[in-house]
Structure 1
Amino acid sequence: MLDHLVGKPSANWKRIQVILTLLIGYILACIQNSSAIFSLLTPFSSAGQSPWRIALGACMAYYLLQNLFLLVGLNAPEPLARLYKRSFYRATWILTALDAGFFTAQSLRPLWLRHTASFLFSIYYLMFADAAEDKVRRVRATMSVDQMRLSWEKGAMNPILRFFSQLQRPRLSIRTIYSIERGPELPPIELYFFYHGEPATLADHDTILLQFPGGGFVSMPPPCHEDALAAWAKQTGLPVCSVNYRKAPEYPYPWPVEECFDLYLKLIKSRGKIIGLSGEKDIKIVVLGDSAGGNLAASVTLKILAHNQYVDQQKEQRKGHVSDSHIPVPTGVIMIYPALDFELSCWMTPSTLSLIRAESTTQMIRSKSLQSLLESKNHLSHSSPLSVVPDVQKKPNIFRRTLGPLTPTEKKKLREPPIRERVHTKDETKAAWETSRLAMTSRMSFFNDRIITPDMMRAMAILYLGPHAHPDFESDYLLSPVKAPLDLLAQFPKTYMICGEKDPFVDDTVIFAGRIRQAKHQQRQKNLDDDPLLADSTVRVKFLEGMSHAFMQMFAFLPEAHQAARTVGDWVLELAEKKPDSQSSCDSSNADENSACGSSSSSSVASSDEHQQEALLTAAAARNAIEMGAVHVAQIVTSEKDMIHRRKKELVSGLYSQIP
């Protein structure tokens, strides 16, 4: 328990805990009449020792034998000792104890007894962390749908936890639930609505934050995300909507994608009137999603882009029907640790690994987290092929350290060489190690993650796909957005992503961001008249060091969750200040042209002066370039300075190439 309080698995802290426990037990056994309870047992004492002392001594002996190897230094190494940040590891300890307590009390009846026992059992498992981890591991091995929902929805469903959570949330002026009609034969869409400002000012807004909540496609309705939703409603001052899409296995793929897409159309068509806006002007929608919701956010955006592309190809538009005309693209897409690839593969292809390497070396990112991700895929550079953190030199035991400094030979013995040094290779093949590297996906590298285990990933994938699905994992981009074609990714709106560096889904974030950047680069190469400095759509990525999945669900005991929420809120505010990509005022299939039209004001769009419009676009692009340098945001875009330098270099090379 002490090492969990400190936030780092440590054999030394466990030894201290064992010694303190034995010492306290010994003191209690030596004190005469140590408590009123023990004094009541004196009539039952024999001529020798008191019964309670005998029981206490037996427990101490058992506890000593159980931790004997730990005390003498023969314990197994801690696999997670240097993997997570201290605060995150401490948060996972609390979550694991809560899960174990709720699993233990799951079968109790009536309901009030189950809620109370779940909370009390969780306190017990906080003190006995090893028992909690063993309990959760056994349950997750054959986890059912009810157990998934019990584990992930406990914060919103248990009245005790819900009470403590509500104490931290800001008060909202409007919190209601709308039922949006979808069609004559389809059930309505349940939409949660949050607003922090004065109710009289709601109708004046023209920007909406639309959130698709995560939960593995099987659980976690909007109330489970209310900590973050309330924080964003207060920080941004915008109307915040969260859709309670229907979950698997009752409604498998593609139901959630279609339901979220239909809701987006309803909001666009009504101009927000169905949620209390005036409905007199076009609205801008910022789409946000975490985990499975990030998948839905990307899928809905791709579905919109594919529809617009189809309309352009058919060259026909029918006025009055949103489905037959261009659908306005979201002002921006924000994804929080998204799950974007359903191909649960083990090995990374050379092209994918090259994309990650390019993102970590050629971009102006200089992120320790991204470098750490790349190093974790160099499996042969560690003493263990399963290690994902740098090796550390072993320390000599305490008896050897008392004899004096180590000799060079002894130091060499303490250092365990990496696997690469053990391999017998020829000199000409050594250079190939840097370009050809055996690498596993993050899903397999972080196999022992404390939040998302392989068993849970398999269960969620099976439930979401359903019993009759046979998707093509290499081409179905609504299921796996990371597989989307480049022509659609080139039209993607401004995209912001945030993820933990130790997340099993971190590869999805890096690869998807890299593919968008690659698609836009190719699009700009085709359009020679398009200045890269005028590019409106960019990709920003922020990695949280030492963090894994679901940190946005840890508001109550993880300070970094509040910082991440503020970062996302800053992104929403930045996107809300921009003009939407209005297809009605500027009809074009080119994504950069759409962005340019969205960046100009309505009066500029109506103006026939092309030079004036171009000046406004240039000013907007310059303003966007300044915003690129926002604090604590890592960008996967080429900086302006580097862009100018490369253009000068290409110009000089072009001049020399013309010399005969």
Structure 2
Amino acid sequence: MLDHILGRPSPGLKRLEVLILASLTFAALKQSPSWPVLDKINKRLARFPPWKIVLGTLFALYLLNHTFLLCFLNAPEPLARMYTRNFYRATWVLTCLDAGFLTAMKIPFKPLRDFCSVAFSAMYMFFPDAADEKVRKFRALCSVEMMRTSWEKSLNPILRLLAYPQRGYLPIRRDITIPRPTPPSVSSFPGTKLGPITVRLYFDGAPEELKKCTSLILQVPGGGFVSMGPKCHDDYVSVWARKTKIPVVSIDYGKAPGSPYPWALEECFDAYRTITESNGEIVGLEGWFEVDGNGKRGKMKPPIKVMIVGDSAGGNLAASVVIKCLESKDIPVRPPSGLILIYPCLSFDLACWMPQEQLGLIRAESKMSLSMQSLVQAKETMDAFSPLAVPPAPKRIDVFSNKVQQSRTSLWRSLWRSQPRKQHAMVPKSLSMTSRMSYFTDRLLAPEMMRAMALMYLGGSPSPPNFDEDYYLSPIVAPDSILARFPKTFLICGEKDPFVDDTVIFGGRLRQAKQKARKEWESVKTRLGDLVVNAGRPHAHSKTATGRAPASTGSSESSESSGKVGRTFERVGLNGDDDEDEDSDDDSLPQTKILLGDLEIDIEEFQNHIFSKDPGDMVKTKILDGMSHAFLLMMSFLPEARQIAELTAGWISEIIDGGDAEVAGITSFEASNLTHMMMEDIEQQSSQERQGTQKPSVQGKAARKPQGLEEVSEKQILERQRMQLAKTHLK
């Protein structure tokens, strides 16, 4: 109270108040003054043993502290029915651990600090409100030390010992270093020496089995860009390694504020390049060539399949690494076979009101998945008498089947409701709030923490951040021409997560871009007519002076169509020239390329083009009712966390083992003129949609060369020929 009277809240004043009160009490007890009232009380209490007096006093204080609650005069509970029961119970444990670890944070002697952190956490289990208040005050003034202490609890030796049953044994779980790629990637920190990259390798098998692996999981761990290395994610990553039997490489990238944006992104991209360019040899796989027992090289091996997985801040970096792969021009970087994003942070926009186009994306996504209906309901309806109240969460959920067990309104609650309440008033579209604002009371991600993370990550950046256009920083604003080339992407997030909008909107934009790409591919297929259908059949042709085969002259229509788009063909050799050898006259060879006006189209490329894939198969979004952030880090006390780890492991196996794993994204380096043309059309359509105009009819477009293509250097041509020769050798 002393600090309130003086108008200066301060721990020092509160400490002084405690010392003054303790001194006065000690003096009174020592002098034992004779007061008639106290003498009467002493006589009445003399017949009770001391332990009863102490217990009775504590019980009286407890009742006094909860008087308003017993009289129904308490304040409303903002978290009532916000989460499922299991998730709320897990957040209670996590909050008590945070309070205990933050309380012991200043103890200098590490063994004592480790012990006291666990002991204080156990104490706070009995005082959850005090734990909430302690954590709230620490979060109000976030610091790097506070965030790392709170989020790196799993490094405590006592907790690691208790969590071992969840983590289990793996034959290979160790830290290694890998070098930077050669030639080096362009760096935003030209004056800084780039050292090797530390990664953590997980594999459920012997080193000999590791060498024979043909796929790899590259994990980008989360931690708000400021904390949590791979070791903090051991529990669920170990589950992936055991379930998939695939090696997992987790990147220990540089953390802010010491390594600001875009250091972590460039480090993750370099790690990906080093692994793919060595074909996994740098982490223990065989590499590009088979090796026999004598150490001699055998035949060349195909490229390994790499799956990128990222959670939270790692999801941001994982998506940005894919974008950097797709945009690579000077150096060929094979894109990953798939991408999984777990409660990712994909935007740094801390806006309150949701734009109508994003709300439309969420509605469209909800029609694709039943798990999003509660999210749409929260956006579009409200309690007219309590507009900030969130829809009640189910009692429990089943991750695999999407079944939920709803909580029932108790008879006691219905009897005490004073008047009928209108529960479903519609929210005007312009007043729909973003998830960052809707769930600002989240127990795990407070607004202060998100603001502190953004300032630490971006404060030391060599260039000022551009939230509207920098899609390396905010992948959610990437253009459609890039999103259309993404590999198969699966996303998962909690319904009450402040980042749930990022997940749904990014998934919706991916699906929308791939739908546009599919329409462009179908329009080209229509213009090509039956040529693609008959592409694999032998085509009798007679060469002209230019090497082109004229169309059949069996009818005037065919003769007339010989000058039209898509009615001329040619057989082209591996290097792009006409085959002039004796085998070129063999009519049994199937045609391999088609001319679409001035564009030369490879038939196999066109038929297996990533734009031809069904958008519904390429993008999957799953929202978990009644759950928030960081559920994979709660495997020791959240039953659903084990289910989610197994579910994502199944996703990894599905993508790696599926046929679409062979159809990775298309980089700018290897994009053909056809791909560039379709990308241009996608961007033109997106631009016209933003301007509110309609796209002209596809059938009315004339075949043309894509505008604004960069000149292909001799180095790129030679590199493409080398890659084609390698593919032919592998066949």
Q: Same fold, TM exceeding 0.5? A: yes
1:53, CA displacement in angstroms?
3.4
Query: What does 1:120-139 correspond to in 2, within 5 Å?
Result: 120-139=119-138
Root-mean-square deviation (Å): 3.2
The answer (yes or no) to whether the contact 1:393–1:415 under 8 Å persists in 2 is: no
Separation in 1, partners of 2:423, 2:85: 27
CA distance in 1, matches of 2:171, 2:370: 42
Decide which moves more: 294-303 or 467-476: 467-476
Tell me the amino acid that sits aligned with residue 487 of structure 2.
P
Distance 1:126 1:204 in 2: 48
Aligned with 1:261 (options 248, 259, 269): 269
In proportion to residue count, which structure has more helix? 1
Counterpart of 2:177 in structure 1 is 179
After TM superposition, list the pairs within 5 Å mapping 1:51-450 onto structure 2.
51-156=50-155, 158-182=156-180, 185-279=193-287, 280=289, 281=301, 282-307=303-328, 311=329, 324-361=330-367, 363=368, 365-367=369-371, 370-378=372-380, 380-389=382-391, 414-417=419-422, 420=425, 436-450=429-443
- AA in 2 matched with 1:464: Y
Rounded Cα–Cα distance in structure 1 between residues aligned with 2:104 and 2:391: 37
Inter-CA distance 394–169: structure 2 relative to 1 (3 Å threshold)? closer
Which AA in structure 1 matches 2:66? N
Separation in 2 of the partners of 1:592 and 1:493?
A: 19
Distance 1:352 1:204 in 2: 45
Within the candidate set 505, 515, 518, 1:521 is matched to 515
Equivalent residue in structure 2 for 1:552, among 585, 608, 632: 632
Q: Judging changes above 3 Å, is the alpha-carbon distance between structure 1 residues 250 and 534 closer, same or farther for their aligned structure 2 residues?
A: closer
2:410, 2:636 → 1: CA distance?
37
Q: Which amino acid aligns with 2:195?
A: P
SS in structure 1 opposite 2:623? strand
- CA pair 462-580 structure 1, distance change in 2 beyond 3 A: same
Deviations 1:450-508 (A, max 9, x none): 11110110011111102355211000000000000110001010001111111110000
CA distance in 2, matches of 1:346, 1:62: 43
Q: Does 1:564 align with 2:644?
A: yes
Matches of 2:427 and 2:69 in 1, distance apart?
Answer: 41
Kindly provide the amino acid, as one letter, of the partner of residue 316 in structure 2.
N
Q: Which moved more, 1:55-64 or 1:241-250?
A: 55-64
CA contact (8 A) 1:475 1:483 kept: yes
**Secondary structure, aligned partner of 1:377:** helix
Distance 2:484 2:359 in 1: 21
* Further displaced range: 525-534 or 229-238: 525-534
Q: How far off its partner does 1:518 sit?
A: 0.8
CA distance in 2, matches of 1:105, 1:90: 23
Residue in 1 aligned with 2:28?
Answer: none
Structure 2 residue 662 is the aligned partner of structure 1 residue 580 = yes
Q: Which runs of 5+ in 2 are unaligned?
A: 1-42, 185-191, 290-300, 394-406, 526-606, 680-723
Indicate yes or no: 2:467 matched with 1:473.
yes
| Distance in 2 separating the partners of 1:591 and 1:174 | 44
Matched letter for residue 501 of structure 1: E
- SS of 2:431's equivalent in the other structure is coil
Cα offsets for 1:186-237 (capped at 9, x unmatched)? 1210011111023211111121100000000000000000001111111000
Alpha carbons of 1:75 and 1:327: their partners in 2 closer, same or farther (altered >3 Å)?
Answer: same
Supply the distance in 2 between the matched residues of 1:90 and 1:592 (Cα, whole angstroms).
Answer: 54
Q: 1:466 to 1:567 in 2, by over 3 A?
A: same
1:632 aligns with: none
The whole-number CA distance in structure 2 between the counterparts of 1:267 and 1:390 is 46
* Rounded Cα–Cα distance in structure 2 between residues aligned with 1:139 and 1:50: 42
The 3 A distance-change label for structure 1 pair 439 and 180 is: same
Separation of aligned partners in 2, 1:99 and 1:277: 40
What secondary structure, in the 3-state scheme, does the structure 2 residue paired with 1:65 have? helix
Is the 8 Å Cα contact of residues 518 and 612 (structure 2) preserved in structure 1? no
Tell me if structure 1 keeps the 8 A contact 2:316–2:346: yes
- The equivalent of 1:455 in structure 2 is 448
Tell me the TM-score normalised to structure 1 length. 0.73
How far 1:397 sits from its partner (Å)? 6.9
Report the CA distance between 1:51 and its aligned residue: 4.0
For residues 14-36 of structure 1, what are the alpha-carbon distances to aligned partners after superposition, in whole Å with 9 as ceiling and x for unaligned? xxxxxxxxxxxxxxxxxxxxxxx
481-490 vs 518-527, which moves further: 518-527
Distance of 1:395 and 1:230 partners within structure 2: 42
Q: Say which SS state the counterpart of residue 108 (structure 2) adopts.
A: coil
The reply on whether 1:464 has 2:454 as its aligned counterpart is: no
Deviations 1:517-549 (A, max 9, x none): 111111222231459874486101111121100
- Write out per-residue CA displacement over residues 43-73 of structure 1, whole angstroms, 9 at most, x where no aligned residue: x998554444333332222111111121222
Instruction: Report the Cα distance in structure 2 between the residues aligned to 1:546 and 1:556, rounded to whole angstroms.
Output: 19
| Cα 1:50/1:480, change in 2 over 3 Å | same
Q: Cα 1:80–1:170, aligned 2, differ >3 Å: closer, same or farther?
A: same
Q: Does the aligned pair in 1 maintain the 2:518–2:613 contact within 8 Å?
A: no
Query: Partners in 2 of 1:62 and 1:577 — Cα distance?
Result: 63
| Deviation, structure 1 residue 154 | 0.9
Tell me if structure 1 keeps the 8 A contact 2:355–2:430: no
Residue 580 (structure 1) shift: 3.2
Q: Which amino acid aligns with 1:341?
A: S
Report the residue type matching 1:270 in the other structure.
Answer: S
Query: In 2, distance between residues paired with 1:75 and 1:441?
Result: 30
**How does the TM-score come out when normalised to structure 2?**
0.66
Moved more, 379-388 or 451-460: 379-388
Q: For structure 1, which segment, 506-515 or 466-475, has the greater mean C-alpha deviation from structure 2 after superposition? A: 466-475
Secondary structure of 2:125's counterpart equals helix
Task: Work out the CA distance in 2 between the residues paired with 1:90 and 1:222.
Answer: 26
Which aligned pairs between 1:649-660 and structure 2 lie closer than 5 A?
Answer: none
Task: Report the Cα offset of residue 592 of structure 1.
Answer: 13
Q: Is the 8 A contact 2:517 2:678 kept in 1?
A: no
**Native 8 Å contact 2:382 2:389 kept in 1:** no
Q: What secondary structure sits across from 2:370 in the alignment?
A: coil
Greater CA deviation, 540-549 or 182-191?
Answer: 182-191
Contact 1:379–1:438 (8 Å) recurs in 2: no
Classify the secondary structure of the residue corresponding to 2:662: coil
8 Å contact from structure 1 (residues 115, 159) kept in 2: yes
